[in-house]
Structure 1
Amino acid sequence: MFGASVTCLYVLLELIPKGASVTIQTEQAVMAAAGGPASLTCQLTEHDDVLQITWQKILPDGEKDLATYTRRFGARVRPELKDNMDFQYEELQNCSVVIREATGEDEGCYRCVFNTYGKGALIGTTCLKLYELHGPVLHIREPWSPEESEVSCSATGRPAPTVTLIVTQQHLSFSQHNTTRVHNNNNTVTVTTTAVLSGLHGNSTQVGCVAGVASGAQIQVFQRIYEEKRTSDDGFLNPESLRSFLTWTAVLWMIALFCMLAVIGYLQHKLKHSSRNPERTKTPRQTTRDSQQVTTPLIHHVNEIKQRTPAKTRPESSVSKQLF
């Protein structure tokens, strides 16, 4: 009876694949940003004589070979994947594939197969999951009272992101939290968190928002609230802003009045100057040269007439000439 039991145990040990005790170290799930690089890695925990490494993608109808490596032929990647996939290895004990720009088609589970001499195929499995994160966008609305302000923050991602409002001052606090989720057509979810910030007393307050996805990256944004820019409940400017507004208005009015007085003074001066010299503005003044050009021809004409007309002789002289 004891001999039969030993024989059965020996048969079971022979049926167990050799090297089954050797494990492959890998991550069960790898998170990567959509559109960014994704790295899948497998490593043997013991040194074995590896003949070939093969990376496969698990599909509903079976496995699809993506890349292989052997000492004789080197690394080989499917032609349609060469531009977007790198195959890396280290002494055939550690290998990985790097997808440069991961998309939704790259999501799924992958197998790394170590074909060893004497131990057969050693297989590890890892799955790739992508996440998206857009935002966050922080918005601060006009306050309901001098000591309160409504703050909202929204982010879009896949899976649904977490959105958290934070404030740097310890004496401030958020209340009346409200969170909404909107499912988009591209399988992303937009999450918006709204709260009321209470305890505003200082000149400025820094408010922040943290958005992140599960097992993925987190993004933080901050914005400062300035007290002098805030308004009162009735929609009018607060005293500080009103005082500044009135000061600038008075300055602008003084500048406009000064310009108007300057223009009026210039026009009055011009009118007085033109009224003192009416003839100068009506007829041009003749110069000495022009007057000489006008009078000289008349004098010359009179002289010519005098020279051409003979002088009249007295009758006594003519009679005396006849008598003698």
Structure 2
Amino acid sequence: MSGRAITFVFSLLAVFSNALTAVIQTQQTVLAAVGEDAELSCQLLETKDVLQVTWQKISHDVETNVATYSKYFGQRVNAGFRKKVEFKYTGLQNCSIVIRNVTEQDERCYHCLFNTYPEGSLTGKPCLQVYELHEPVVDVRESNSAEEWVVSCSATGRPAPTVTLSVSQQDLNFSQYNTVSVSNTNATFTVTTTAVLSGSRKHSTQVGCAARVLSAPLREVMVTIPEVQQTPDATENDFTWIIVLAVVLVVAVLLVILLVVKRDWISAVITAHFKQQNKTGDPEKTKTPPKSKQDIEKNKTPLIKHENEQLRQRTSTKKTPKNINRKASPSTAKRLFEED
């Protein structure tokens, strides 16, 4: 009978303890990223005569007092937590603390104790869960097919994050998913998801990658894939080559014609230059040739010609005596000249 009585007493205590816990409203799991601040709060749902509120940190079933608040002594933070914990709201019915710059060592469960009279302590148990999540990295590369792209996204966090891919264009879709998780030395995990994006893409498309840890907010990155330039078919390529060859041929013909015309023009210029040089080059050849006796006679005036003719007739009619010396004296010559 004694054993049954003891079991019955412990059962009553358990029920009473659950009833006391139920009157406290608190968030059972508080998520906070590494480096952020975390707020823990507890509120009594029933009005009680509270003497003091005590906050404790539970580590390996060891309870360590962190901070206390009472109406008579006010708020007090213990020496080991003064740079880490501070009160955000102080009250005997509602009380909250803030843990600054959380780390892995802060990831514990905490007790908020409402010391009441005459019921005793009413306990709430919020737990802090610290996570780590870095910004995802997206990589897009072309596949062997013209209408396929390989998209991969990597995200690092703790615990292992969930990575999902999305695309803005409705007629594109992902296939051939592959996810790999790698454990790092700092207790984080790197998860990489790869998929093949296929479909007809006429405009620029946005590809998104979202990473999430537990129920923490998403971290998403968007990447724009530029518009695909349409490649001309074989017929268009042949037509383009024909146009290019025709243009080259026309240019070559024009160059040949230009060279021939230029050569003829240069030859004409050189020939004209030599002709002009022959005309004006030798000064001796350009001198006036001496006039002959006939030309001099032709150029005489008629009057002089007539006088000379009369002089010859006179001299011819006068016969020179044989016994007279042909060489006349100066006086005789003078007289004859005067007679003339």
TM category, shorter = 0.5 to 0.7
Deviations 1:112-141 (A, max 9, x none): 000012111111111111111012101101
Q: Residues of 2 paired with 1:169 and 1:198: CA distance?
A: 11
1:135-150 correspondence to structure 2 within 5 Å:
135-150=135-150
Structure that is richer in strand per residue = 1
Q: CA shift at 1:146, angstroms? A: 1.6
Structure-2 residue corresponding to 1:283:
none
Q: Which residue of 1 aligns with 2:158?
A: 158
2:82 is aligned with what amino acid? K
- Tell me the distance in 2 between the aligned counterparts of 1:16 and 1:184: 46
Deviation at 1:219, TM superposition (A): 0.8
Instruction: State the Cα distance separating 1:228 from its structure 2 match.
Output: 4.6
2:52 is matched with 52
Code of the aligned partner of 2:43: Q
Map Cα deviations across residues 207-239 of structure 1 (whole Å, 9 max, x no partner).
Answer: 1111111111211111111135799xxxxxxx6
Superposed CA deviations along residues 179-231 of structure 1, whole A, max 9, x for unmatched, are 10000011111000001100133131111111111111211111111135799
CA drift of 1:27 comes to 1.6
Shift of residue 106 of structure 1?
0.4
Aligned length: 223
How many Å apart are 1:76 and its aligned residue?
Answer: 0.4
Secondary structure, aligned partner of 2:126: strand
Question: Normalising by the residue count of structure 1, what TM-score does the alignment of the two structures yield?
Answer: 0.64
* Secondary structure, aligned partner of 1:187: coil
**TM-score, normalized by length of structure 2?**
0.61
Contact 1:52 1:116 in 2 (8 A): yes
Where in structure 2 are the equivalents of 1:169-180 lying within 5 Å?
169-180=169-180
CA distance in 1, matches of 2:35, 2:204: 38
* Other structure's SS at 1:105 match: helix
Residues in 2 aligned to 1:210 and 1:223: alpha-carbon distance in whole angstroms? 12
Tell me how far 1:166 sits from its aligned partner. Answer: 0.1
Find the aligned partners of 1:23 and 1:62 in 2 and give their Cα distance. Answer: 24
Q: Percent same amino acid at aligned positions?
A: 55
Displacement, 1:96? 1.2
Letter in 2 for 1:36: E
Counterpart secondary structure, 1:191: strand
Q: What's the Cα RMSD here?
A: 2.6
Gaps of at least 5 residues in structure 1 are 1-7, 232-238, 241-324
Shift of 1:61: 5.2
Contact kept? 1:88, 1:96, Cα under 8 Å: yes
Aligned-pair CA distance for 1:94: 0.8
The answer for the alignment partner of 1:301 in structure 2 is none
Q: Is residue 150–residue 196 contact of structure 1 (8 Å, CA) maintained in 2?
A: yes
For residues 284-314 of structure 1, give each alpha carbon's deviation from its aligned partner in whole angstroms, at most 9, with x where no partner exists.
xxxxxxxxxxxxxxxxxxxxxxxxxxxxxxx
Residue 36 of structure 1 corresponds to 36
d(CA) in 2 for partners of 1:189, 1:201 = 34
Contact in 2 for aligned 1:30/1:40 (Cα 8 Å): yes
Distance 1:204 1:133 in 2: 29
Q: Look up the equivalent residue of 1:57 and give its one-letter code.
A: K
Q: Deviation digits for residues 9-31 of structure 1, max 9, x if unmatched?
A: 9xx79x95798386111122111
Which residue matches 1:77? 77
Q: 1:224 to 1:129 in 2, by over 3 A?
A: same
Structure 1: distance between partners of 2:181 and 2:78: 41
Matched residue type, 2:140:
I
Distance in 2 (alpha carbons) for counterparts of 1:18 and 1:152? 49
Distance in 2, matches of 1:113 and 1:29, equals 17
Question: Relative contact order (alpha carbons < 8 A, sep ≥ 6): 1 or 2 greater?
Answer: 1
Secondary structure in 1 matching 2:142: coil
Higher CA-based Rg: 2
Partner of residue 92, structure 2: 92
Q: Secondary structure at the match of 1:135?
A: coil
Q: In 1, Cα distance between the equivalents of 2:39 and 2:191?
A: 29
CA distance, structure 2, for counterparts of residue 225 and residue 22 of structure 1: 54
Does 1:190 pair with 2:194?
A: no
Moved over 4 A (4+): 15-19, 228-231
